[in-house]
Chains A and B, each alone.
Chain A
Amino acid sequence: MNPGVATVYRWELRKLRYQKRTYLGLGLAVIVPIIFVAAVSFKNNGPHDVAFGDYVDRSGLAVPLVILLFGAIWMFPLIAALVAGDIVASEDHNGTLKTILTRSLDRGQIFTGKALAATTYAIVAILLDGIVSIVAGCLKSGFNPLQSLSGTVVSAPKGLELVFVSLLVYLIPILAIVCIGLLLSTVTHNSAAAVVGTLMFSLIIQLIAILPGLGGAQPYLLSTQFNAWQGLLRTPTDWDPIIRAAWVCALYGLPALGAAYLVFLRRDVAGG
């Protein structure tokens, strides 16, 4: 079989399985919902200052939604950055980039395989977090109907479906973060700088969002897109924030991804 993007993708996933940082991110995605549910059980009520916070006692399905709100600040960007920021830079640092670039695969194929692997990792982490949240939440508060943001009550199966679609919508800004992580990974040649840089970018955007006088820019900030999924939990469904998230995140992510691709294609591999 001729080698191609699928070959790189398969081996990138295999390499991820050998590396500790992979399990650090996935472990975070698993442990945070468990700690949250344990804390809520101990206090016997949920956080009141956040959407769905009041419902976690009534339905386990509210737990993944609260975690999505909390996780947007740093946890999910960090998990996405752990692999996206590392996947090119670590090869630079270890000198293995020159090893794989002198085989029979073009640079474009190598980059694409890596980008797909980083994307897969982010998707797996979010879905894993969602599943653990649902299971832990339902064990604590039961698989009960969920109250939407409009006050209407949806059945538990319908609520479950909405939670899963919310997770998918949440992936839109996460994938933009992955693209930015890939760019920093490609240009910095330094894994730590790329991971921290991606996280800093995410945090700075959150800070900009709370600056006074920037209300008009709010809908176009990346941080706002982390709340787009809430449109699904209104009656009737509010698609506007979701559609906006799609193109706003594309505006953040695609130029970063394109720049990373072009830099990777043309850059000198002089290290290692």
Chain B
Amino acid sequence: MAADPPIEVRGLVKRYGAIVAVDHVDLTVQAGDVYGYLGPNGAGKTTSLRMMLGLIRPTEGHVRLFGRDPLLGVHALEGVAGFVEAPQFYPYMSGRRNLELLAAYDGAGASGRVDQALATVELSGRAGDRVGGYSHGMRQRLGIAGALLRAPKLLLLDEPATGLDPAGMRDMRVLIRRLADEGMTVLLSSHLLPEVEELCNRVAIVRSGKIVYEGAIAELKRGAGTAYRLATTDDERALAVCRAQRGLGEVTVEHGYITFSADATAAAELSQALVEAGALIKVLAPETVTLEDLFFSLTEGDGQAPGPVDGAAPSVVPS
């Protein structure tokens, strides 16, 4: 029998009165994934993470961590660590004291990992200072150190780079990348697209509590195809050629350019057809659809990824 996935969420709903914060979310995080849980602020990411960690009870649906239900007790959190929103500590105690407390609450040899965790997040030098005097970035790093004490197989991080300066963001990404390379499965909520694009292999894009896309980033981008911009010596004729050409997505005219989506082969075949029709190419430029384009089209538009070609549509969940 296959091992239970690190995270399996089915039909998860959280309602606060009339407000539906999380609306029938399904997702599966497989071992080794660096999974991006992506959505604008207020989309229900933190609420979902709280349910995954057993901090709040779902209205409907369930969460399983390695097959265990976090509502049935903390044994479900064995091998699991992380934080929701900004990690919080006792401000009147030092960073080291805080970690010692958490290690005592973890048991299982966590106390022996305090020094190593501090070193990993490069806080050894400030470990004796009260957390009340730490910067936001230092607290975020202490949050990661606190998670590492549990020697987790699964790390859940809620917006780990939010509020950090550019250098802090870069360091955080390097750290998460390193942990993932060491074999940790990571679920990372974020509204920062470059972070997700750089770190994650899979994403769930969430909008108003609902998942509008779940799958591999590469598949999402491939499914969206590549948009091209075209200008020729005879655009009228070129437009007719484009519309007749196989393998091209919807052909439109925007800002004086003919635009369409196509894969590289279809674009090459088009160039030949244009020459044969006597419309000589002045510009034929690919415009790769970025994760950002996809994100905005999924979270602000009609919930459809832009320009899918030839049935290679990503598994967009109708909202």
Which residue of chain A lies nearest to B101 when distances are taken between CB atoms in the complex? A11
| Contact assessment for A99 and B55 in the assembled complex, using a CB-CB cutoff below 8 Å | no
Chain A hits for B56, CB < 8 A: 268-270
- A14 CA to B92 CA in the complex, in Å? 11
**Min CB distance, B273 to chain A, in Å?**
60
Chain A hits for B107, CB < 8 A: 1-3, 7, 104
Among A36-44, A90-98, A117-125, A134-142, the stretch that binds chain B is A90-98
| Contact assessment for B57 and A268 in the assembled complex, using a CB-CB cutoff below 8 Å | yes
| Contact assessment for A102 and B77 in the assembled complex, using a CB-CB cutoff below 8 Å | yes
**Min CB distance, B9 to chain A, in Å?**
17
Which of B74, B83, B93 has the largest count of A CB atoms less than 10 A from its CB? B74
User: B85 contacts the other chain (Cβ, under 8 Å)?
Assistant: yes
Number of interface residues of A (CB under 8 A): 28
- Given A3-B105, A266-B57, A268-B56, do A103 and B88 touch, yes or no (CB 8 Å)? no
User: B78 contacts the other chain (Cβ, under 8 Å)?
Assistant: yes
Contact of A98 among B77, B84, B102, B104 (CB under 8 A): B84
Chain B, residues 88-104, CB within 8 Å of chain A (1/0): the string is: 11111100000001101
Which residue of chain A lies nearest to B84 when distances are taken between CB atoms in the complex? A98
**Min CB distance, A97 to chain B, in Å?**
9
Chain A hits for B87, CB < 8 A: 99
Chain A hits for B150, CB < 8 A: 103-104
User: B211 contacts the other chain (Cβ, under 8 Å)?
Assistant: no
**Min CB distance, A111 to chain B, in Å?**
13
User: B291 contacts the other chain (Cβ, under 8 Å)?
Assistant: no
User: B125 contacts the other chain (Cβ, under 8 Å)?
Assistant: no
**Min CB distance, A113 to chain B, in Å?**
10
User: B108 contacts the other chain (Cβ, under 8 Å)?
Assistant: yes
| Contact assessment for A8 and B74 in the assembled complex, using a CB-CB cutoff below 8 Å | no
Chain A hits for B50, CB < 8 A: 98, 268-270
Which residue of chain A lies nearest to B143 when distances are taken between CB atoms in the complex? A99
User: A105 contacts the other chain (Cβ, under 8 Å)?
Assistant: yes
| Contact assessment for A104 and B90 in the assembled complex, using a CB-CB cutoff below 8 Å | no
User: A100 contacts the other chain (Cβ, under 8 Å)?
Assistant: yes
Contact of B104 among A7, A19, A99, A270 (CB under 8 A): A7
User: A15 contacts the other chain (Cβ, under 8 Å)?
Assistant: yes
| Contact assessment for B85 and A95 in the assembled complex, using a CB-CB cutoff below 8 Å | yes
Contact of B146 among A99, A105, A272 (CB under 8 A): A99
Chain B, residues 56-71, CB within 8 Å of chain A (1/0): the string is: 1100000000000000
**Min CB distance, A9 to chain B, in Å?**
11
| Contact assessment for A98 and B93 in the assembled complex, using a CB-CB cutoff below 8 Å | no
- A104 CA to B110 CA in the complex, in Å? 11
Which residue of chain B lies nearest to A108 when distances are taken between CB atoms in the complex? B73
What is the total of A-B residue contacts with beta carbons within 8 Å? 89
User: A101 contacts the other chain (Cβ, under 8 Å)?
Assistant: yes
Chain B hits for A103, CB < 8 A: 74, 77, 102, 105-106, 150
Which of A15, A95, A99 has the largest count of B CB atoms less than 10 A from its CB? A99
| Contact assessment for A270 and B105 in the assembled complex, using a CB-CB cutoff below 8 Å | no
User: B53 contacts the other chain (Cβ, under 8 Å)?
Assistant: yes
Q: In A112-171, which residues have CB < 8 Å from any B CB?
A: none
User: A106 contacts the other chain (Cβ, under 8 Å)?
Assistant: yes
- A14 CA to B93 CA in the complex, in Å? 10
Which of B56, B87, B88, B108 has the largest count of A CB atoms less than 10 A from its CB? B88
Which residue of chain B lies nearest to A19 when distances are taken between CB atoms in the complex? B92
| Contact assessment for B105 and A100 in the assembled complex, using a CB-CB cutoff below 8 Å | yes
| Contact assessment for B88 and A7 in the assembled complex, using a CB-CB cutoff below 8 Å | no
User: B306 contacts the other chain (Cβ, under 8 Å)?
Assistant: no
- A101 CA to B56 CA in the complex, in Å? 11
Which residue of chain A lies nearest to B75 when distances are taken between CB atoms in the complex? A104
| Contact assessment for A269 and B88 in the assembled complex, using a CB-CB cutoff below 8 Å | no
- A1 CA to B146 CA in the complex, in Å? 19
**Min CB distance, A1 to chain B, in Å?**
7
**Min CB distance, B114 to chain A, in Å?**
14
| Contact assessment for A96 and B88 in the assembled complex, using a CB-CB cutoff below 8 Å | yes
| Contact assessment for A102 and B91 in the assembled complex, using a CB-CB cutoff below 8 Å | no
Chain B hits for A94, CB < 8 A: 88, 90-91
Chain A hits for B108, CB < 8 A: 2, 104
User: B6 contacts the other chain (Cβ, under 8 Å)?
Assistant: no
User: B82 contacts the other chain (Cβ, under 8 Å)?
Assistant: yes
Which residue of chain B lies nearest to A269 when distances are taken between CB atoms in the complex? B55
**Min CB distance, A210 to chain B, in Å?**
41
Chain A, residues 41-68, CB within 8 Å of chain B (1/0): the string is: 0000000000000000000000000000
- A35 CA to B192 CA in the complex, in Å? 61
User: B81 contacts the other chain (Cβ, under 8 Å)?
Assistant: yes
User: B86 contacts the other chain (Cβ, under 8 Å)?
Assistant: yes
- A1 CA to B53 CA in the complex, in Å? 24
**Min CB distance, B239 to chain A, in Å?**
56
- 5 A-B pairs within 8 Å (CB atoms) are namely A3-B106, A11-B104, A100-B102, A102-B77, A106-B74
A8-B105, A15-B93, A99-B87 are known; give 14 further A-B pairs, CB within 8 A.
A2-B107, A2-B108, A3-B105, A11-B104, A15-B90, A19-B92, A95-B86, A95-B88, A98-B88, A99-B83, A99-B89, A99-B146, A106-B73, A269-B55
Chain B residues with a Cβ under 8 A of chain A: 47, 50, 53-57, 73-74, 77-78, 81-93, 101-102, 104-108, 146, 150
